[in-house]
Structure 1
Amino acid sequence: MNRYTFVVRRWWTVPVALVLLVLTSGTVGTGEVPVPSLNGGMAGARVTYFTPVIVVVAVMYCLDRRLLAAETTAVVPVHRLDQGAVALTVLLAHGAGLVVGLDFARNVTLLLALALLVRRLSNEAAATVAGLAFLILNLMLGRAHDAGGHATHTWWALALYPAGSAGAWLVSAGLFLLALALGLSASRRPGLTAP
């Protein structure tokens, strides 16, 4: 099963993606890209805001690679290995978050949860696009102004919350645990049955 994990699933790409993200974030720094807001005007978003999507792409790439015959005859259910690998990805993202910023780690957790839930209903490509669409939706519709005219965010735009927001962390962790249980179950895949 170890060979299957590294050769077929290629879970080694996720830590490589995280290392590249840390290096890229150090290079790009606080660079911004303009993003239109439907609430008025054009605002900027840090380039590093979009980097969690790369982790989601790497995870969905790994989950998309499979040999159905090997998975149906495996002694160890492959979906349990996948659950462990995705949980380890979030743990490694939190380690990278110490360097890049803890909002990165929270957003990786949130986007992976969203991706796993969309993957359960559709496929890996749609799951990846859902994460990017969610980030863009947060930027375009999730920004607001408080009574004093200061920029803030709406209640649902979790990706825009500051890294210290306990509520955003709890919602992200809860969604991730739900998605981990539902999104990687064996009964989801055609030809495979739950143990």
Structure 2
Amino acid sequence: MIAYAMTVRRWWVVAPTLALIVFVCLAVGASEVPVPSLVGGMTGARLDYFAPILAVIAVMYCMDRRLPEPERTAVVPVRRLDRAAIAITSAFALGSGALIGMDIARNLVLLVSLALLVRRVANEATAAATGMALLVASLVAGRAYQPGGSTTHTWWALPLYSAGSVTAWLATLCLFALALFVSCGDSGFSGPRRS
């Protein structure tokens, strides 16, 4: 199974991707890019806010690589291998939170979980694009003004929550558990079933 994970699924790709995310986050620091907002004007978004998309792409790349016949006849179901690899990826992402920020690490787990759920009904490309769409939608439509005039986030814009938000962590962990339970059942959407 380990040989299958490394040669077919290519889970080794995730390790350099996580290293690249750490490097990007450290390199860009607090640099911001202007983003239009529906509440008015332009707001700034840190560049490292978009770094978790790299991990989503890497995980979807690995999930897309498969050999259907050997997977059906494998002694150990490949879904167990996938679940373990996703759990290890998330653990390493959270471990790197000390370097990249726990909000970025949480968003990485959130976006991977969302991508796994979307992959269940669509394909890997759509799943990866959904993560980017959530990030952009959160920036553009997920901000609001408090009565005092300061900006805050709306309830649904989880990527904008602070690193210490218990609500965002609980939602992310619930989504992650659901994604592990639901998403690794078979190889995603493959059209009509043949008997």
Q: CA deviation at 1:121?
A: 0.5
Task: Show the counterpart of 2:86.
Answer: 86
Task: Show the counterpart of 1:139.
Answer: 139
Moved beyond 2 Å, runs of 4+: 186-191
**Residues 1:157 and 2:167 are matched in the alignment:** no
SS of 1:152's equivalent in the other structure is strand
TM-superposition CA deviations, 1:85-120 (whole Å, max 9, x none): 011111010011111000011101111111011000
In structure 2, give the amino acid aligned to 1:140.
V
Q: CA deviation at 1:188?
A: 4.6
Gaps of 5+ in 1: none
Q: CA deviation at 1:25?
A: 1.2
- C-alpha RMSD of matched pairs (Å): 1.5
**Alpha-carbon distance between aligned partners in 1 of 2:159 and 2:26, rounded to the nearest angstrom:** 21
Task: Show the counterpart of 2:22.
Answer: 22
**Alpha-carbon distance between aligned partners in 1 of 2:188 and 2:49, rounded to the nearest angstrom:** 31
In structure 2, give the amino acid aligned to 1:90.
S
Q: CA deviation at 1:21?
A: 1.1
**Alpha-carbon distance between aligned partners in 2 of 1:31 and 1:62, rounded to the nearest angstrom:** 31
Task: Show the counterpart of 2:46.
Answer: 46
Gaps of 5+ in 2: none
TM-score (norm 1): 0.95
Task: Show the counterpart of 1:107.
Answer: 107
**Alpha-carbon distance between aligned partners in 1 of 2:151 and 2:39, rounded to the nearest angstrom:** 11
TM-score (norm 2): 0.95
**Residues 1:184 and 2:184 are matched in the alignment:** yes
Would you say the 8 A contact 2:93–2:105 is kept in 1?
yes
> How much identity, in percent, do the aligned residues show?
54
In structure 2, give the amino acid aligned to 1:81.
L
Task: Show the counterpart of 1:58.
Answer: 58
In structure 2, give the amino acid aligned to 1:179.
A
Q: CA deviation at 1:186?
A: 2.6
Q: How many residues align?
A: 192
